[in-house]
Structure 1
Amino acid sequence: MTAALGDRMRKLMQQHGINQSQLAARAGTTQPNISKYLAGEREPASSTLANIATALHTTSEYLLGLPESNTDTPFGTIKAYCARHGGDLSEEETRDLIMTLLTAREQGGHQGIQD
């Protein structure tokens, strides 16, 4: 599994134009650790893996080659999309997305839920 992890990380790093040092800084680890993950010599701790996934706009499940949870629901699909592509959104688009969600909640998005 570690070789697949390294391959997926490398692909996403290239896609997003991130080098090992940049990924390490964004994920809260060191460049030598990133190098070991890429080489398949070591697997990151779950918290580091989550940070790497966030930095690479993906999910931990994707990096590990596991089935992604909840992608068969609208929420899961949106969450997975945001994880993968959220870093590509401008600040204005990010604010707009958040405001859309908050406005929907305020306008009765919970009408079908019993208190």
Structure 2
Amino acid sequence: MKSMIGDRIRELRTSHRLSQTELSKLLHVSQQTITKWENGKAEPSSGALAKLAEYFDVSADYLLGSDKTSEPKSVDLEKDPVVLSYGGRPVSEEDMDVIKAILERHKNDGDVHYE
């Protein structure tokens, strides 16, 4: 029996190029548990649901099938003021300039695809 939550977990896991085993280790559950979730034979606990949502940066509502958006909200770094952190520390203006330069270089190389 297929389930919306199972489909969403599989979609997110594969889009992040994770095996079931890798995801199971991240969530501290068995690989068989991930299989059961994805096949609709079991559903994650509320704690596991919260961990999935946090790891994949989606809402619990999305995982449950009531929120149609799958992508985190995009932010234009040039136009929108945004607070970013890495490793619990805020990203400095200098670091942001480096990030922008890297993105521009990859954009010009064709490595990054923009819509």
Q: Give the TM-score normalised by the residue count of structure 2.
A: 0.57
Aligned residues: 79
Which amino acid is 2:85 matched to? T
Give deviations 1:34-92, integer Å, cap 9, x for gaps. 10000000111100111122232322111001249xxxxxxxxxxx549xxxxxxxxxx
Calculate percent identity across the aligned residue pairs.
28
How far apart in 2 are the matches of 1:55 and 1:24? 12
Supply the RMSD in Å over aligned alpha carbons: 3.0
Aligned to 1:33: 33
Residues 1:96 and 1:24: Cα distance change in structure 2 (over 3 Å): closer
Aligned to 1:99: 90
Aligned to 1:76: none
How far apart in 2 are the matches of 1:35 and 1:95? 32
Greater relative contact order (Cα < 8 A, sep 6+)? 1
Question: Contact 1:26–1:51 (CA<8 Å) still a contact in 2?
Answer: no
Aligned to 1:107: none
Higher helix share: 1
Structure 1: runs of 5+ lacking an equivalent: 69-79, 83-92, 101-115
